[in-house]
Amino acid sequence: MKPFSLVGIWVTGILGAAVLGAVVNFDNAHVSELYFRNVMQWNDVSHISRAIVAQGVFEGLVCGLFLSTIFTSIAGIVSRAQCSYALGVQYVGGSFLTAFGCWVAGGLLAVALASLSPEFYRHTFIRVPEDADERLRYAWVGGSIWGIQLGGVGATFVFVALFRAAWRQKIEDASKI
């Protein structure tokens, strides 16, 4: 029955990423709708907050499908399809927490960049507002999105490596008995 655990891990990774996308975009919608209007060209969208959250769910599903497939495939190969759901989900959860941390870090780094060099920031990114407060809010949203996406990719590979090391240790410990 362990191969069914892998299916559960895979589905949990996909759905978890969709939830994470919804949560962070719910926050980002409250920080700067202007970011989405400018970057996504959503000038005619009437219920933009809902569209922003839906976009987060969509991007979470796409990223989750890709990254969960990588993690689950490697976990299945390393464990020879013997990984339990509980064990796999611990590592998937760790990657979610890390990606969330990268969301925060990416937002803070972008705000710092937009604060320290507003001219560079305005000329480098799409339709950045002139107003300082709006520019910082805009920077948070853009940086946090990059942070969670790049952080999710990095976290997946880090947690694959951690899983592999832990599984090898488990096998080694079992052979000593």
Domain span at 80: 2-176
Total count of domains within the chain: 1
For range 72-87, the mean pLDDT = 96
* Mean pLDDT for all residues in the chain: 96
- Does residue 41 come out as left (phi exceeding 0), alpha (psi in the -120 to 50 range) or beta? left
Q: What pLDDT, on a 0 to 100 scale, did the predictor assign at position 30?
A: 96
Is residue 95 within 8 A of residue 156, CB to CB? The reply is: yes
Indicate the residue type of 167. W
Q: What is the 3-state secondary structure (H, E, C) of the chain?
A: CHHHHHHHHHHHHHHHHHHHHHHHHHHHHHHCHHHHHHHCCCCCCCCHHHHHHHHHHHHHHHHHHHHHHHHHHHHHHHHCCCCCHHHHHHHHHHHHHHHHHHHHHHHHHHHHHHHHCHHHHHHHCCCCCCCHHHHHHHHHHHHHHHHHHHHHHHHHHHHHHHHHHHHHHHHHHHHHC
Q: Residue 109's pLDDT band (boundaries 50, 70, 90)?
A: very high
pLDDT tens for 133-172 read: 999 999 999 999 999 999 999 999 999 999 999 999 999 9
pLDDT of 1 higher than 70: no
pLDDT tens for 39-54 read: 999 988 889 999 999 9
CA–CA separation, 64 and 90 (whole Å): 16
Please report where in the chains the tokens 């362990």 appear, as a residue: 2
Q: What pLDDT, on a 0 to 100 scale, did the predictor assign at position 176?
A: 83
